[in-house]
Structure 1
Amino acid sequence: MSGPRFEPVRAVRAYERVVEQIEEAIESGSLCPGERLPSERELMVQFSVSRSTVREALRVLQARGLVRSRPGDPNGAEVLPFTPAALHKSMTTLARVEELSLGELLQFRMVLDSAAMLLAARLRSEEQLAEMAAAVARMKAAAETGHDEFGAADVAFHDAVVRAGGNKLIQICSDVVRSIVLGLISEKIAAAPGREALMRRSIRHHEEVMAAIRAGDGPLAARLSRKTMYDYYAGHVPAGERAALRALLE
């Protein structure tokens, strides 16, 4: 039989419909941060649902970082402003339920880092270059003292680069993805053989990246950054996922 093909429908619970409508109101700007939803009783009337349905919807919205709800508050739940914490929570959940693989997270981080390098090479100030140099100096000192200090200095370098680029969304996403990746494999990196040699090689790469940014060569800085990240992390990624990372090196 010819004609359109239809997909199976999913049964939707009443509270999910409530969540969808409130989310749409927030996303469209009909509800703004700081404003309040109607009271539970008014929501029951507007949605024609029970109190338990309204409360379940509010629990979901609060878990997603969209509202703050206090039981018994007669003023209704407060709409919250967007925060990096909400994005971090969502991406962490995706990673934990294996919707996002380590390879995908690293690939995204390589893309974000490349964009930050391109912007920084064009827009950086002398003060921001000094921040990058100070971070590299801390990395050198930390290579002799411990992995935690080295990691903190590495983060400081990349934070300085992203700030130099001036894009807040790249900054937020980079911070979120980096913390998730490190949370997944930090213990493996700390226990990896040849760790000191890897740190020294990473320092050399960072110096090369900084020199390219100083010279205004964004494409070179981006290529070097992707190579640095691949060298540092690829060994912790399943072999089947490495081809996707290598594609960004070509």
Structure 2
Amino acid sequence: MGGPRFEPVQAVRAYERVVEQVEEAIERGVLTPGQRLPSERDLMVQFSVSRSTVREALRVLQARGLVRSRPGDPNGAEVLAFSPATLHKSMSTLARVSELSLAELVQFRMVLDASANLLAARLRTEEQLAEMDAAIARMREAVEESYESFSAADVAFHDAVARASGNKLIQICTDVVRSIVLDLVSEKIAGASDRKALMLESIGHHEEVLAAVRAGDGPLAARLARRTMYDYYAVYVPEGERPALLALLE
């Protein structure tokens, strides 16, 4: 007979339902940072589940950075404030299990950096421009020191631009995605025979971006970010996945 075909369903474990309800309460603001969940015994009664189910749910919630549960604490688990570290952990896990490809991560960084540059060009202050100047000066000094020092100065420049964008979520996501991408390609960069030339070329790119930001030319600053990211990282991305990056170039 014809008709719809259904896929087998997966049994949902009780602790997952507990986790879902607590997460929903946090998302809706019913539970706020600093508040306490009911005690384990109260949770057992409210959810009609065993102590082991409650404890497994609390372990999952703690692993996700939503609550802090201390062994032996007579009070319930404490609801935690959002932390960039939580986002970093989640995205790092996704990258490690190959749910996010390097191409997707680089593409997202191209989007983020371009947006940060565009906003910075329109909203930056003189103090923030001075921070960017100082970061580039430090990059020049670090060329003769070590790649680690150079990389730290590079990060300082991008952090200054992200702060100048005025958007906290851009700042957080930029920091998270940048560190994950660098983790994935750091060994290849460290082993590059022309590393000094790459550092000098990078300084040139940063100077172009700073000039565009200083001039208030947002579209140019955004284009420079996308092109620089592509030129720097495309070589590490499988050739078949590079069209995803090229699609962002003008």
Q: What TM-score range do you get, normalising by the shorter chain?
A: over 0.9
Partner of 1:11: 11
Supply the AA of the counterpart residue of 1:97: V
How far 1:7 sits from its partner (Å)?
A: 4.3
How far 1:197 sits from its partner (Å)?
A: 1.4
Matches within 5 A, 1:46-125: 46-125=46-125
Structure 1: state its 5+ residue gaps.
Answer: none
Partner of 2:28: 28
Distance 2:177 2:93 in 1: 12
SS at match of 1:30: coil
**Cα RMSD (Å):** 1.2
Structure 2: state its 5+ residue gaps.
Answer: none
Partner of 1:175: 175
How far 1:71 sits from its partner (Å)?
A: 2.1
Supply the AA of the counterpart residue of 1:51: R
Supply the AA of the counterpart residue of 1:26: I
Partner of 1:134: 134
Partner of 1:185: 185
Residues 86-129 of structure 1, C-alpha deviations (whole Å, 9 max, x = no match): 00010011011110011111110110001101110000011111
Supply the AA of the counterpart residue of 2:53: T
Distance 1:42 1:56 in 2: 15
Residues 156-205 of structure 1, C-alpha deviations (whole Å, 9 max, x = no match): 10000011111000000000111111111112111112111111111111
Partner of 1:215: 215
Q: Alignment identity in percent?
A: 80
Distance 2:247 2:147 in 1: 29
Matched, 1:42 2:38: no
Matched, 1:146 2:146: yes
Report the TM-score, using the length of structure 2 for normalisation.
0.97
How far 1:4 sits from its partner (Å)?
A: 5.4
Distance 2:105 2:116 in 1: 16
Residues 23-63 of structure 1, C-alpha deviations (whole Å, 9 max, x = no match): 00111111111000000001001111100000000000000
How far 1:9 sits from its partner (Å)?
A: 2.1
How far 1:235 sits from its partner (Å)?
A: 1.3
Matched positions, count = 250
Partner of 2:241: 241
Report the TM-score, using the length of structure 1 for normalisation.
0.97
SS at match of 1:193: coil
Question: Structure 1 residues 194, 84: CA separation in 2 closer, same or farther (over 3 Å shift)?
Answer: same
Supply the AA of the counterpart residue of 1:169: L
Supply the AA of the counterpart residue of 1:23: E
SS at match of 1:33: coil
